[in-house]
Structure 1
Amino acid sequence: MRRPILSQRLAEASWTTFDWAFQPFFTLVTTFIFAPYFVAAVAPDAVTGQAWWGYTQTVAGIAIALLSPVLGAIADAAGPRKPWIAALAFLTFAGCALLWLALPGAGGGTLLLVLAAITLATIGAEFAIVFNNAMLPDLVPAHRVGVLSAIGWGVGYVGGLISLGLVLGLFVLPEVPAFGLDKAAHEAERLSGPLSAVWLAVFILPMFLFVPDKPHQGLPRGAAIRQGLSQLAGTLRGLRHYRNQMRFLAAHMIYGDALLAIFAFGGIYARSTFGWDLLTIGIFGIILNVLAMLGSFLGGLMEAKIGSKRTVTVSLLLLIAGTVGILSIGADRIFFVFPVEPPAPGRGLFASPAELAFLASTLVLGLPFGPAQASSRSLMARLAPPSMMTEFFGLYALSGKATAFLAPFLIGIVTEITQDQRLGIAVVVPFLLLGLWLLSGVREPALHRDR
């Protein structure tokens, strides 16, 4: 039964606020502000810090891999998704709030608490995404899934961009930071966690208020759990009947690992390579978020013309080129073989040849980042059986997380063994190549516009 047009548009707009609400966690905490700060100032040294950060993502990835399809199956049996999202959002909120405790050189119990907070916040965010994704096919007709998915990603990047701009404008650029923050104690970096928590609590409200949820199926909680687990067991036994879906899930499992690793370690790598301060890395983050935002909207238009699979394919090819480009650049060398003058003390913003080459590679890397994720989500929505949507999105999250511990784990191991952060990051390239090959064998269903 169709909803009134105004109500429908409000629901669609409110659904995108989920991405807006959660994106500062990924932008401020896991990529551009807190993660580089943790590696540079909280951990004993940059190599150890990159390894430890990789291990937090490893633990989160294992937890999500084990539980996401189970929770998805239970939610399908029970009906509503919002109660799950609320509980998981609170987990992310609490984890972000605790990051204020990450004092420079923190050790002992405080360091363990910070590492646990990062892990729990990541688990909460990624689980919440499972349930939010599963609401998409019930919200719009099949031919509009890709467009709304892309808009959601784009809106999310706008939220990340604005939150990053607020941090720079209020706490970094002024000689005296807002609220009397102490730059010497890195309070701006530490505040990125609580700021993300407050942002999440405020901006997730429209999704709860205006997006329709599935009705409760009338099952008691225990019966819903038993039915969900039984349905999941049946799905796993019958996966041989969903070979096309499984090929896509396998592809997403591999290239999804690479996407997460690139985003999680990009800021860390940039800061360690060039010695960027908070302002420089913040501006770099703004540039990357603008590119990802534009790429998300352009990807939605491209998907409407060429389909989800081809959009993901083009995105992965560009991601491979951009990643190789970034890895070819060091402080005193570009494209592996050409020596250049290293960055000089007191230099201007992005003044050295290596930094400019790094930004050029970022252009190639940033634009396809949003389309790769948005079109993957819409492709899953088109491939999943309607009656098993949340369950398949649980498997989709599983495919994005089943080996999500592997790329960060390998980055940590290779970084520790070689004492070279570049070689650690390089492990993502084979993941992208293998994921691209698996995706080539996926059959995308024809798009019908009769709904």
Structure 2
Amino acid sequence: MKTRRFSKQEKSWMLYDWANSAYSIIVTTAVFPLFFKAVATDSGLSDATSTAYLGYTIAIATFILAMLSPILGTIADYEGLKKRFFVFFFSLGAGSTALLAFVPGDHWLILLILYTVTAVGFAGANVFYDAFLVDVTEENRMHDISTRGYGLGYIGSCIPFLISIALIVLAQLEIIPLSFYAASKIAFLITALWWAAFTIPMLKHVTQRYYKKREARPIANSFKQLGQTFKEVRQYKPLFLFLLAYFFYIDGVGTIIRMSTAYGSDLGISATDLLIVLFVTQIVAAPCSILYGRLSQRFTGKKMLYAGICVYIVVCVYAFFLRTTLDFWILAMLVATSQGGIQALSRSYFAKLVPKQKANEFFGFYNVFGKFAAVMGPLLLGLTTQLTGNTNAGVFSLIALFLIGFALLAKVPEPKDEQRHSYAS
């Protein structure tokens, strides 16, 4: 039988990963941390202190969204509201990313405040973007669509990232008349424009298929519904156990992604080397993300989640002994093999478990678990780094999150369709 091609809705949904992944690599992972570290150094902050401050800022941003996510989720399950909330947070994220280019001088505190706004906008849009997965495709295609979205994101982000790297490297080599700071600010503008331009298909073609009818006082009712949703989530034992496991292991994943550049900078790795490593990481991560989706069809999504967690445990152990640029390369390539796959399969695995008509409501809890977890990881890394004066020890401390997540995931029963698919393969 001929395999059905991707629909316009599926393509438009996947293309948003292409659009917003520029933010993930340029602002979250690469250029902004280096830019902030340089500004902080000029302001007299030590390496350990500035890394800790960045970790605390990430924790604050994710805490804000963690408080908002379940409430927004219940409101946006009403007819026609999911798209409106998506547009608001996307606009907030892209707009504030552009504003990073206009922060004057050595105002490191303003940078952190504005970065918090960009992070809330980016993650807030993702709450609704993730929930749209149930609207654009069927259940048996979710793993494939989700992992392909991540794959497209890694490929797409390489283009603006490569332009940004070229600008920064040429500026540092004094080949073009720009400073490192000016080149970095141009990178922020490129990110915002790329994000906005490739979000247009999502805005035009993706619509909400599953919803609840609107009722009076939706905001007040959302608070009532929040308590009811928590009770319902607890009644779905596999779903609740998965959320607990996800709470821990995704925290470690997110912390390593967000803090990797600051970590490398503390080890004395040059900005140019860090940018090149992160660029290659994107290239390697793209096919590996798609490979996770393919392998999940043969070995089930749960087993591939096990594989991803094990890779990250190795990363934490190896990070403790990291000393050279070569070590950082090896560490980055290990992360590249699994960072997209573990996130994509978590998203699609959860989508298989939720009631479709309450997808946004349940994805609100999915995101709140992820966001509250993301408060813990950066705090753990920041505190350990400050107490020991050693960033390696901070990364090693994250191993506890992966071990707990693995143990809890082991208690989650396999969905019936995954069992059948595994046996058939």
TM-score (norm 1): 0.86
Counterparts of 1:71 and 1:424, CA distance in 2: 33
Q: Which residue in the other structure is 1:350 paired with?
A: none
After superposition, give the CA deviation of every residue in 1:316-366 in whole Å (9 maximum; x if it has no partner).
111111232233111xxxxxxxxxxxxxxxxxxxxxxx3223322322221
User: In the alignment, which residue of structure 2 is the partner of 1:245?
Assistant: 239
**SS of equivalent residue, structure 2 residue 368:** helix
Deviates more, 1:90-99 or 1:249-258: 90-99
Picking from 194, 197, 208, the partner of 2:192 is 197
CA deviations 1:1-29 (Å, max 9, x no partner) are xxxx78x6222111112111111111011
Pick from 124, 128, 132: which aligns with 2:125?
Answer: 128
Give 1:131 deviation, angstroms.
Answer: 0.5
Aligned to 1:309: 302
- Give matches, 1:202-351, under 5 Å: 202-214=197-209, 219=214, 223-277=217-271, 279-330=272-323
RMSD: 2.2
Tell me by how many angstroms 1:187 deviates: 1.3
Q: Does 1:69 align with 2:70?
A: yes
Letter in 2 for 1:47: A
Distance verdict in 2 for CA 1:238–1:297, change over 3 Å: closer
C-alpha displacement of 1:313: 0.8
Matches within 5 A, 1:91-170: 91-102=92-103, 106=106, 110-170=107-167
Q: Provide the secondary structure at the position in 2 that maps to 1:72.
A: helix
Per the alignment, residue 10 of structure 1 pairs with 8
**Alignment match, 1:36:** 34
Contact 1:323–1:365 under 8 Å retained in 2:
no
In 1, the alpha carbon distance for the partners of 2:344 and 2:409 equals 15
Contact 2:79 2:208 in 1 (8 A): no
Report the TM-score, using the length of structure 2 for normalisation: 0.91
**Aligned letter for 1:126?**
A
Q: Does 1:407 align with 2:377?
A: yes
Q: Is the 8 A contact 2:92 2:117 kept in 1?
A: yes
Considering fraction of residues, name the structure with more helix.
Answer: 2
Gaps of 5+ in 1: 331-353
1:440 aligns with 2:410: yes
Residues 31-68 of structure 1, C-alpha deviations (whole Å, 9 max, x = no match): 11111231243352211110110111111121121110
Q: How much identity, in percent, do the aligned residues show?
A: 28
Corresponding letter in the other structure for 2:214: L
What is the total number of aligned residue pairs between the two structures? 413
CA distance in 2, matches of 1:407, 1:139: 32
In the alignment, the residues of structure 2 paired with residue 9 and residue 385 of structure 1 have an alpha-carbon distance, to the nearest angstrom, of 23
Q: Distance in 1 between matches of 2:199 and 2:89?
A: 12
Counterpart of 1:360 (choices 296, 312, 330) is 330
Partner Cα separation in structure 2 for residue 357 and residue 57 of structure 1: 26
> 3-state SS of the aligned residue for 1:442?
coil
Contact 1:102/1:111 (<8 A) preserved: no
Q: Tell me how far 1:101 sits from its aligned partner.
A: 3.9
Deviations 1:270-297 (A, max 9, x none): 12213313x2111101111112212111
In the alignment, the residues of structure 2 paired with residue 177 and residue 24 of structure 1 have an alpha-carbon distance, to the nearest angstrom, of: 25
In structure 1, distance between residues paired with 2:314 and 2:168: 35
Distance across 2 between alignment mates of 1:228 and 1:171: 46
**Residue aligned with 1:94, SS:** helix
Deviations, residues 185-220 of structure 1 (Å, cap 9, x unaligned)? x21123332221111111111111122333875626
Select between 224-233 and 312-321 the one with higher mean Cα deviation.
224-233
8 Å CA contact 1:323–1:361 kept in 2: the answer is no
* In 2: Cα distance, 1:98 partner to 1:33 partner: 15
- Residues 275 and 361 of structure 1: CA distance in aligned 2, closer, same or farther (over 3 Å): closer
Q: 1:26 maps to which residue?
A: 24
CA distance in 2, matches of 1:247, 1:392: 14
State the shift of 1:103 in Å. Answer: 5.3
Amino acid corresponding to residue 169 of structure 2 in structure 1:
V
